[in-house]
């Protein structure tokens, strides 16, 4: 069975975006160590899951980076890896190498997880991340804690009905100021 990994940038106070979706707080001057870490966790990935809102920015940005800079900084991996975009509103697929998923998230993700292949990476956005967490669909959390506090904003834990117990399996600090916390679901 394939492993579902989740990678999300958060503020020190746990927000994934500002109140209006702002993401200007993210640390983008990643050092080589963090870039190598991301390369290592994405290397076994052969499917990326995105929400529609994130996909609208994510896919074009990586395509532009690949055309401008070539395969540097993982652009080739991000463009060439097949993607599934969860959406309730799109009826027409706008991107190559991408499939739209409109059904029940648990059923759809279970289908992908049970297919042969490598790891699956979930990047979000916030609504997709919340649904994945709420439905216990994530096997490995990679939380990138940025060195900033914004005081208010969007969280990915609002939809939880029960406590989510996690087991810390790794911590890494990087020179750019980001700390990565890696969790697995705790056994009940």
Domains of the chain by start residue, with CATH: 4-185 (3.40.430.10)
State how far the Cα of 102 lies from the Cα of 100, in Å rounded to an integer.
6
What would the pLDDT profile of 59-107 be if each residue is shown by its tens digit?
888 888 888 877 766 788 888 999 999 999 988 888 889 999 999 999 9
Cα dihedral value 92, 101, 90, 68, nearest 10: -70
Q: Which of 106, 98, 100, 9 is nearest to 47 (CA)?
A: 98
CA angle 163, 109, 127 (to 5 degrees): 55
What pLDDT score does 151 carry?
97
Residue 113, phi then psi, degrees to nearest 5: -65, -30
Overall pTM surpassing 0.85 (yes/no): yes
What pLDDT score does 188 carry?
56
What pLDDT score does 182 carry?
98
CB 129 within 8 A of CB 122: yes
**The tokens of 120 are what?**
């699956």
What pLDDT score does 65 carry?
82
Residues with pLDDT less than 70, the chain: 72-73, 188
Place of tokens 């983008």: 28
Place of tokens 């060195």: 147
């Amino acid at each position: 069975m394939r492993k579902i990994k989740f990678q999300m940038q958060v503020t020190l106070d746990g927000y994934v975006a500002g109140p209006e979706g702002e993401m200007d707080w993210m640390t983008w001057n990643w050092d080589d160590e963090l870039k190598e870490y991301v390369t290592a966790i994405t290397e076994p990935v052969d499917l990326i899951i995105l929400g529609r809102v994130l996909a609208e920015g994510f896919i074009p940005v990586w395509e532009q980076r690949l055309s401008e800079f070539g395969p540097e900084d993982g652009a080739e991996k991000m463009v060439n890896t097949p993607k599934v975009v969860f959406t309730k509103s799109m009826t027409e697929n706008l991107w190559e190498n991408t499939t739209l998923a409109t059904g029940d998230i648990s059923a759809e993700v279970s289908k992908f997880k049970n297919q042969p292949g490598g790891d699956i990476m979930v990047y979000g956005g916030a609504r997709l991340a919340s649904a994945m967490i709420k439905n216990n669909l994530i096997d490995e959390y990679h939380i990138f804690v940025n060195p900033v506090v914004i005081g208010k904003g969007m969280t990915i834990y609002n939809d939880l009905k029960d406590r989510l117990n996690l087991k810390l399996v790794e911590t890494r600090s990087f020179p750019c100021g980001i700390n990565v916390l890696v969790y697995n679901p705790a056994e009940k």
